[in-house]
Amino acid sequence: MSAEVFAFVSEVFAAEADLAAAVACSVALPAFVVAVEADDAALSADFPAAVALAEACPALVDAALADDAVAVFEPAAAEALCPAAVSEDLAFVSDVFAAFAELPAAVAEEAALLALDDAFVSDDFAASFEAAASRAEVAASDAFVVAADAEVAADCCDASAFVSDVFAAAALVAAALFEDSAAAALFDASLAFVDAVPALEDAD
């Protein structure tokens, strides 16, 4: 009896397990469907790419053949370019030698320009010295004129002093004459006073 109960319980558990598995399958079914649809979409998307790749295969083959041809003809082209490169190198070397040959001429030209600048500077200094000498000469001439004017003024002052001395001498003579006249008048007045004294005494 216990064995039958145990078997029944086992069947019940097995049924529940089957039911749970069925439920899990029903739950997972939509996700499975979505995954299948995604795979179909991926296959559909990969199909045009595969078709395009198949169509591009001839072009890829042609490109590979062209690369092979270029690889075959490239050494010949390189050999043809070698003389041109050598000629270009020789031309560069010639230009370098020409530049070195032009260098002394450039140095000489620079020296000539410096000498010309020095000559211009010397001319400027000479012109400055000449102008200074001319100004000094003009100043000396002006000083001579001033000295001559001063000498003339001194002569005029001497003449004025002489004339003043003459007029002073005349004034002194006139003063002396006036003094003599005044003395004579005073003497006459004294004599008249002396003569008048007796008359005044008689009148008293």
By C-alpha distance, which of 49, 70, 66 is closest to 58? 66
CA 168 to chain CA centroid, nearest Å: 82
Beta strands in 113-181 (DSSP E): none
* 165: amino acid identity, one letter: D
- Which residue in the block uniquely carries the two structure tokens 């216990």? 2
* 67: amino acid identity, one letter: D
Task: Report the pLDDT value the prediction gives residue 85, as an integer from 0 to 100.
Answer: 63
Q: What average pLDDT does the chain have?
A: 75
Residue 81 clears pLDDT 60, i.e. is over it: no
User: In the structure, what pLDDT confidence band is assigned to residue 53 with cuts at 50, 70 and 90?
Assistant: low
Structure-model confidence comparison of residues 149 and 84, the more confident one = 149
